[in-house]
């Protein structure tokens, strides 16, 4: 994309959007399932969401898994050259992300219409963003454990791990010479406390993840965040905290208007015990949207119930919802397709995410 003008008027130089595709685009160019990435997600972490015989199947769908700016694959503080490296990386909104994803789909992949956008957490926020930003292009959305905007509670929570990381003297305003390990560990520890629920901790469900003690669990979160670039984490927190489908020239901050503009069919799936994105906010959104249904999933696993491949019962509910939305899409023709190898557009090789038993957020 070379130079990308952002919402704030800055230019993101030599912008790169990394992605992977699976399956084949049909002749109508409308069998597309778009999978954005979540906060610590990558296109690889999205792979448990589809497969042979699943609701989303590369034999029937053209699946595009696209990486969020700041995640170490697409343009990020960790892989961008001066003068936009590290803490000088510009603030990028979800609107900016979706605008670039739209260019990718329409200009590079020749997509005419998106059958379904689905995702968890920040990926759910992007599903809402797509439906509001390009309502005529999106047939259905399936946002789960996410919201159409970052709530005040969610914003305040995110300030916690951010402050913990930046309190490390090695942070040095983002111009660190070595990773701020103490800050990254503190970030992971603070983050873990919100990721599940009261019942999860009270009933010691972390033992189902293979941890004997609570301390074992939070230490794993510490270790996992050591593998992330600190500036990347901070950049994505800014994106998350400023997420709002109405904060743009299209809607001028009118949130109900943005929700009413969504014409896509939607199944919104919060978790009853999610502390990041509470079901009450989703209920208010669904009440304003035209073709939306609220399905609250009851589980003590909180936000992490939706971690890809984590709980079979949630995966089953998600597959059922995706299958229902995709059945509603009328296909005039059925192309004969074969799974295609992964392809990437100017993908960065930096910021690789290691998997862990806690599976990220």
Cα–Cα distance measured from residue 264 to residue 43, given in angstroms and rounded to the nearest whole number: 24
β-pair type (19-22, 32-36): unpaired
| Annotated catalytic residue within 65, 121, 246, 299 | 121
The tokens for 96 are 């900016």
Cα–Cα distance measured from residue 27 to residue 355, given in angstroms and rounded to the nearest whole number: 37
Q: Residue 143 pairs with which residues in a beta bridge? A: 119
| Annotated catalytic residue within 274, 281, 307, 348 | 274
CB 358 within 8 Å of CB 209: yes
Cα–Cα distance measured from residue 67 to residue 264, given in angstroms and rounded to the nearest whole number: 23
The confidence score (pLDDT) of residue 349 equals: 30
The confidence score (pLDDT) of residue 1 equals: 58
Q: What angle do CA 238, 360, 311 make, to 5 degrees?
A: 135
155-235 and 2-151+243-327 share a CATH fold: no
Q: What angle do CA 231, 237, 242 make, to 5 degrees?
A: 135
**57: three-class secondary structure by DSSP:** coil
| 303 counts as catalytic | yes
| 246 counts as catalytic | no
The confidence score (pLDDT) of residue 4 equals: 77
Q: Which CATH class is domain 155-235?
A: mainly alpha
| 136 counts as catalytic | no
Q: Residue 244 pairs with which residues in a beta bridge? A: 149
For the chain, give percent helix, strand, coil, nearest 5. 40, 15, 45
Q: Kindly list the averaged pLDDT for each block of 10 residues, start to end, along the chain of length 361.
A: 83 96 98 98 97 97 98 98 98 98 98 98 98 98 98 97 98 98 98 96 97 97 96 98 98 98 98 98 98 98 95 97 86 38 38 36 68
| Annotated catalytic residue within 303, 307, 348, 359 | 303
For the chain, domain boundaries: 2-151+243-327, 155-235
Query: Span 2-151+243-327: which CATH code?
Result: 3.40.50.1820
The confidence score (pLDDT) of residue 329 equals: 63
């Amino acid at each position: 994309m070379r130079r990308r003008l952002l919402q704030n008027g800055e230019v993101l130089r030599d912008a790169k959007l990394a992605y992977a595709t699976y399956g084949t685009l049909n002749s109508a160019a409308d069998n597309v399932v778009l999978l954005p990435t979540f906060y610590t997600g990558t296109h690889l972490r999205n792979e448990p969401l589809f497969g042979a015989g699943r609701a989303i199947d590369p034999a029937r769908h053209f699946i595009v898994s696209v990486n969020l700016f700041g995640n170490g694959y697409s343009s990020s503080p960790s892989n961008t050259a001066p003068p936009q490296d590290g803490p000088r990386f510009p603030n990028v909104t979800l609107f900016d992300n979706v605008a670039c994803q739209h260019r990718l789909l329409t200009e590079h992949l020749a997509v005419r219409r998106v059958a379904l956008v689905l995702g968890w957490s920040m990926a759910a926020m992007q599903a809402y963003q797509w439906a509001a930003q390009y309502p005529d292009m999106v047939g259905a959305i399936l946002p789960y454990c996410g919201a159409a905007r970052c709530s005040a509670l969610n914003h305040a929570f995110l300030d916690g791990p951010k402050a913990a990381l930046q309190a490390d003297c090695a942070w040095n305003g983002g111009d660190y010479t070595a990773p701020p390990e103490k800050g990254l560990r503190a970030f992971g520890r603070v983050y873990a406390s919100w990721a599940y629920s009261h019942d999860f901790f009270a009933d010691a469900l972390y033992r189902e993840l293979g941890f004997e003690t609570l301390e074992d669990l939070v230490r794993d979160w510490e270790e996992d965040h050591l593998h992330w670039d600190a500036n990347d984490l901070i950049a994505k927190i800014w994106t998350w905290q400023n997420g709002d489908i109405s904060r743009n020239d299209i809607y001028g901050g009118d949130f109900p208007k943005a929700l009413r503009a969504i014409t896509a069919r939607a199944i919104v799936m919060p978790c009853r015990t999610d502390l990041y994105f509470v079901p009450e906010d989703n209920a208010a959104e669904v009440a304003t949207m035209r073709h939306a249904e609220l399905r609250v999933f009851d589980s003590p696993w909180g936000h992490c119930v939706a971690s890809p491949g984590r709980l079979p019962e949630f995966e089953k509910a998600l597959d059922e919802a995706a299958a229902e939305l995709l059945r509603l899409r009328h296909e005039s023709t059925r192309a004969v397709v074969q799974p295609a190898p992964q392809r990437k557009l100017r993908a960065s090789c930096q910021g690789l995410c290691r998997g862990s038993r806690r599976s990220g957020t």
